[in-house]
Amino acid sequence: MDAAMPVDTDSLLEKMRHYWGYDRFRPLQREAMEAVLADRDSVVVMPTGGGKSLCYQVPSLCKPGLAVVISPLISLMKDQVDALTACGVQAACVNSTVPVAEKRRAAEGVREGWLKLLYLAPERLVTDRTLDFLQSANVSFLAIDEAHCISEWGHDFRPEYRQLKVLRDRFPNLAIHCYTATATEQVRHDIARQLELRNHDLLVGSFDRPNLSFQVQRRADRLSQIREVLNRHRGESGIIYCIRRADVEEIAAQLNSLGYNARPYHAGLSDVQRKTNQEDFIQDRVETIVATVAFGMGIDKPNVRYVVHAGMPKSLENYQQESGRAGRDGLQSECVLLYSSGDLMLWKRMLDDLPPEAQAPAMASLDALDKFCVSVTCRHQALVGYFGQTLESDTCQACDVCLGEVEMIPDALVVGQKILSCVVRLNERFGADYTAKVLNGSKDKRILEMRHDQLSTYGLLTDHPVSAIRDWIEQLVGQSMLAKTGEYNTLAVTQLGWQVLKGEVEPKLIKSRPQSSSTSARAAKLTDDWAGVDRGLFDDLRELRKAEAEKQAVPAYVVFGDATLRDLARLRPTTIPSFRRVKGVGEKRCLDFGPQFTQRISHYCQQHELTTDLDPAPFVQSPEPGPSSPAFKAFDLFREGLPVAEVAQRLERAESTTFGYLADFIRHERVTDPAPWVEPKVLPQIEAAAEACGLERLKPIFEHLDQSVPYEAIRIVTACLRNR
């Protein structure tokens, strides 16, 4: 096709609306789809969750013939095909797990021309049999997913991808389109070279993931730090990554004994056990998966709301990939990394086992990660900066640095020198705990026995708690100014450390802010996407989604994504036309699920006296995140104990919307006392009625009180009672 030939963007939008229920392109999707329509080879680089799949799926519907998609993992293919089928797109995959009858039907679909997308693993595609078959078929284009697997420079090289070199020869007239989230230029060049792309379009999106909030904490009380995150996400899915299997087992067991719903995943479990745990996570039967890095590749679950690294990953590339598994659906999600110099040392030791030529790049990646942990620049900026991009704004309002959760100490050079001189005075024979106590001026028996209270450095940091000094020691280790040596991790001053002592180099030492302010800022941020959503209805619809998914043996998100489910609980459509207008519904899903969902919504809204069939217009623009967002400001005002009417007035919002913010506030901050927002005389009445009727539903309480108390008051009191 002539490269200058105009392409029909309207038809792309029309298909996207019809099948997926989306009415707007994400950044670069239009360009990527147009390259497909115009038969220009392309390399498309977008971050995870950027919407790469649609870039080839939508145009495949606008072109005659079959699009062949090469994908590395069987599980990914199956999920993609399930999702496409749910949207009404004719798609199939052929691999060793697919029953013969299904394979036959797919072949029929190719021959008869109704199959639009065929997913294949590279090793199957390059067999002569498959190549011959496809050469005789009407193939419209070739799409290569996870295209970085072809490059040895990528983090996930797969030798079988190398065989794809035959494609150019075998299909000289077909365009080849490559998709990856891996950013380096070297990998991009390699992809184009290996596949002999011709004058290809190179489309590189921003690697930033604005819906992810990042936080780095020094690992102290691991379990409490993990629980703090989990408590912000009750009922939601998340992953906890560990370095070792033993940690996976331990954390999973600890969480379960505390009443969380967690499962382990690592290579030491049986295949059956691993598969069950993974399936249960994907199907939303289990909330948290505690895993080694063996978990994740091949998992497309879009509603992962948090990723915690309980141990440090081995590189910044790995961190980007693993943390990137959060929030693929674009909703607010958080990534928390717990770092420790012990892990850093562990990785360094492991690098020694690598062949010499691999050591330097691996060390550079590890160093980059270490810098990321101890630096005080915006985490979003640091991540995209590593991949050669810059963000326009200096502050993302979505990381611990920009949310003001980390702060540098002003006198880091002096504090650093005090610590290092103490290590020298102790003849480099003691560990971090002991050194911190000496600096703090502890009367520990051992210190007195060793007469270290006589040292000139004893009590030099007496104004600071031992835990803070301990933190700074770790930070100095992280910045290679101190080293942990020998069997007992005794501290030694490095060459760089000596430069600090001479005042030639200044360390950076971070002081942690009190947790309460940080968690509330974070919690408020996470509620932005919930504005206007009735949580009870959302939970109800989630149950319905799960039941429908189980009936069809597909993952819950194939029925509807969380973003659509939240929109349903926000707009509350009770008729098919208003259901159809919700983003992410599409024609087929409207037919398949419209009746059940609208019925459930009607029923719930009647019971809870909620308005239905709201106009989507005010919600089209998603609420602006960050401290300027109304939810965020509302939290501050509620914290001051202001009544709803006043908060509503100050924010210039309707009272009903403000009540929604208050409900989120109560849930997130675990408020137990409704006093600031409920009249004192009705409070005991509601509590007594709740005692009699239970907390499940509001209507019985409302009836019990002879309909004399407003629903909103009942809602607030029951929300607080649930937190008790």
**Residue 102: closest CA among 90, 92, 112:** 92
Q: Does 52 bind ligand ADP (CB under 6 A)?
A: yes
- Cα(first)–Cα(last) distance of the chain, in Å? 67
Q: Interface with ligand ADP includes 205 (CB under 6 A)? A: no
Taking CB under 6 A as the criterion, the residue among 24, 198, 275, 446 binding ligand ADP is 24
For ligand ADP, the binding residues in 536-595 under the rule CB under 6 A are 561
Tokens 């299909």 label which residue? 171
75 binds ligand ADP (CB under 6 A): no
From the list 9, 17, 18, 26, which residue makes contact with ligand ADP (rule: CB under 6 A)?
26
Instruction: Of 184, 475, 161, give the one whose Cα is nearest residue 317.
Output: 184
Among 59, 154, 296, 302, the residue binding ligand ADP under the rule CB under 6 A is: 302
Can you tell me which of 36, 37, 41, 53 binds ligand ADP, judged by CB under 6 A?
A: 53
Q: In this chain, which stretch among 24-32, 197-205, 283-291, 568-576 interacts with ligand ADP, using CB under 6 A?
A: 24-32
Q: How far is the CB of 568 from ligand ADP (least distance, A)?
A: 15
Q: How far is the CB of 181 from ligand ADP (least distance, A)?
A: 7
Which residue's CB is nearer to ligand ADP, number 44 or number 248?
44
> Which of 15, 39, 44, 51 is in the footprint of ligand ADP by CB under 6 A?
51
What Cα–Cα distance (Å) separates residue 556 from each residue in 282, 360, 552? Answer: 8, 44, 10
3-state secondary structure of 116: coil
Of 443, 439, 445, the closest CA to residue 473 belongs to 439
Element (H, E) at 511: strand 510-512
Asked whether position 19 contacts ligand ADP by CB under 6 A, the answer is no
Asked if 22 touches ligand ADP (CB under 6 A), the answer is: yes
Q: Which is nearer to ligand ADP, 119 or 632 (CB)?
A: 119
Alpha helices in 312-410 (DSSP H): 316-323, 341-351, 356-374, 379-386
Cβ proximity to ligand ADP: between 52 and 470 the closer is 52
Question: Could you say whether residue 48 binds ligand ADP (CB under 6 A)?
Answer: yes
| 274/245 Cα distance (integer angstroms) | 13
Residue found by looking up tokens 């380096």 in the block = 184
Q: For residue 345, give the amino acid letter.
A: M
d(C-alpha 311, C-alpha 336), whole Å: 11
Q: Contact between 328 and ligand ADP (CB under 6 A)?
A: yes
Residue with the shortest CB distance to ligand ADP: 51
From residue 345 to residue 384, what is the string marking binding to ligand ADP with x (rule CB under 6 A)? ----------------------------------------
User: What is the Cα–Cα distance from 325 to 321, expressed in whole angstroms?
Assistant: 7
Based on the shown chain and the rule CB under 6 A, indicate whether residue 620 belongs to the binding site for ligand ADP: no
Number of residues that bind ligand ADP (CB under 6 A): 17
Q: Indicate the residue among 54 and 110 with the shorter CB distance to ligand ADP.
A: 54
- At 563, list the tokens: 């973003």
Question: Would you count residue 635 as binding ligand ADP (CB under 6 A)?
Answer: no
**Contact pick of 54, 143, 192, 523 for ligand ADP (by CB under 6 A):** 54
Neighbours of 540 (CB within 10 A): 18
Smallest gap from residue 145 Cβ to ligand ADP (A):
8
Q: Identify the bridge partners of residue 219 per DSSP, sorted by sequence position.
A: none
Q: What is the DSSP string of 175-211?
A: -EEEEE----HHHHHHHHHHTT--S-EEEE-----TT
Q: Is 46 in the site for ligand ADP (CB under 6 A)?
A: yes
Does 119 sit near ligand ADP (CB under 6 A)?
no
Please tell me whether residue 50 binds ligand ADP under the rule CB under 6 A. yes
Task: Give the span between the Cα atoms of 663 and 642, in whole angstroms.
Answer: 14
CA distance linking residue 145 with residue 488, whole number of Å: 48
Contact positions vs ligand ADP (CB under 6 A) = 22, 24-26, 29, 46, 48-54, 302, 328-329, 561
